[in-house]
């Protein structure tokens, strides 16, 4: 059965770090490639092992990144961590829309609100909510990559981010991952079939 797409939407996923956003976005891209494609952001941070330039990010040095800002090539950009810039490129969004698919973004909370402000009719912003602050903090601790001291600013940031959830169109609860993945699939099906932007909890 062929699938007739409504007007391509901008589907933005944001969440505090550790909420499972990237896992959910990767799953959707794998299962629904005819409906959605990923907006590859530019960043000045160094690639992690297994990350591929042009697939996970466009890895740029700071000079090039700032040049792109000057040239107005970004839809939005943020200094997400001190000295580390991330931005959504206008040409990524154009490329995907031209293919007739909806554009999926994995960006931070400020970036999501920024895109909604610029495209109130086309953007649907989704907040991936962990079941509680405690669960989120435990998940971050269990990575074992930061000391308690280093974790504190991340916790503060996460608290601020969770406080922004009510500004989002849709809240996707990630308690049990399997359930969250199914709900996320349903959500993409709804958006790309009906194009509606109702406020809902999934
Ligand atoms: P990471 O370094 O872990 O890949 O990403 C750090 C944070 O930056 C994540 O919250 C990620 O979603 C966010 N991010 C990635 N790309 C962009 C972007 O283009 N714009 C904004 N505002 N945030 C981004």
Of 115, 92, 90, residue with least CA distance to 14 = 115
pLDDT band at residue 27 under the 50/70/90 scheme: very high
* β-pairing verdict for 36-38 and 10-14: unpaired
The rounded distance, in Å, linking the Cα atoms of 178 and 155 is 25
The rounded distance, in Å, linking the Cα atoms of 124 and 195 is 10
CA of 79 to the centre of ligand 1 (A): 9
pLDDT band at residue 7 under the 50/70/90 scheme: confident
Distant-in-sequence, close-in-space partners of 51: CB < 8 Å, separation ≥ 6: 57
Q: What average pLDDT does the segment 172-176 reach?
A: 95
Residue 1 has pLDDT above 60, yes or no: no
How many percent of the chain have pLDDT more than 90? Answer: 79
For residue 200, the model assigns a pLDDT of 65
pLDDT in tens, 94-104: 999 999 999 99
- Using CA positions, which residue lies closest to atom 20 of ligand 1? 87
- The beta-strand segments (E) located in 46-147 are 57-59, 74-81, 84-89, 102-106, 123-129
Mean pLDDT (the chain) is 92
- Which range of 3-7, 187-191, 194-198 scores highest in mean pLDDT? It is 187-191
For residue 154, the model assigns a pLDDT of 86
Distant-in-sequence, close-in-space partners of 154: CB < 8 Å, separation ≥ 6: 17, 140, 146
Residue 30 has pLDDT above 70, yes or no: yes
Output the ligand 1 site: residues, CB below 6 A.
Answer: 41, 45, 76, 78, 80, 86-88, 106-108, 111
Q: Give the three-state DSSP class for 72.
A: coil
Fold classification of 10-194 is Rossmann fold (3.40.50)
For residue 195, the model assigns a pLDDT of 76
Nearest 5°: phi and psi at 10? -100, 110
């Amino acid at each position: 059965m062929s699938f007739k797409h409504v007007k391509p939407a901008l589907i933005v996923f944001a969440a505090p770090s550790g909420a499972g956003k990237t896992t959910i976005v990767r799953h959707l891209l794998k299962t629904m490639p005819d409906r959605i494609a990923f907006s590859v952001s530019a960043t000045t941070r160094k690639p992690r092992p297994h990350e591929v330039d042009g697939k996970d990010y466009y890895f740029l040095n700071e000079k090039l990144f700032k040049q792109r800002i000057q040239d107005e090539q970004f839809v939005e950009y943020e200094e997400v961590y001190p000295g580390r810039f991330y931005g959504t490129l206008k040409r990524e969004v154009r490329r995907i829309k031209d293919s007739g698919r909806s554009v999926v973004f994995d960006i931070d909370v400020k970036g999501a609100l920024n895109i909604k402000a610029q495209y109130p009719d086309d953007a649907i912003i989704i907040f991936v909510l962990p079941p509680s602050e405690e669960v989120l903090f435990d998940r971050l601790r269990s990575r074992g990559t930061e000391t308690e001291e280093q974790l504190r600013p991340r916790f503060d940031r996460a608290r601020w981010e969770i406080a922004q959830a009510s500004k989002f169109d849709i809240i996707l609860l990630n308690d049990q991952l399997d359930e969250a993945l199914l709900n996320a699939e349903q959500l993409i099906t709804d958006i790309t079939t009906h194009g509606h932007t109702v406020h809902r909890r999934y």
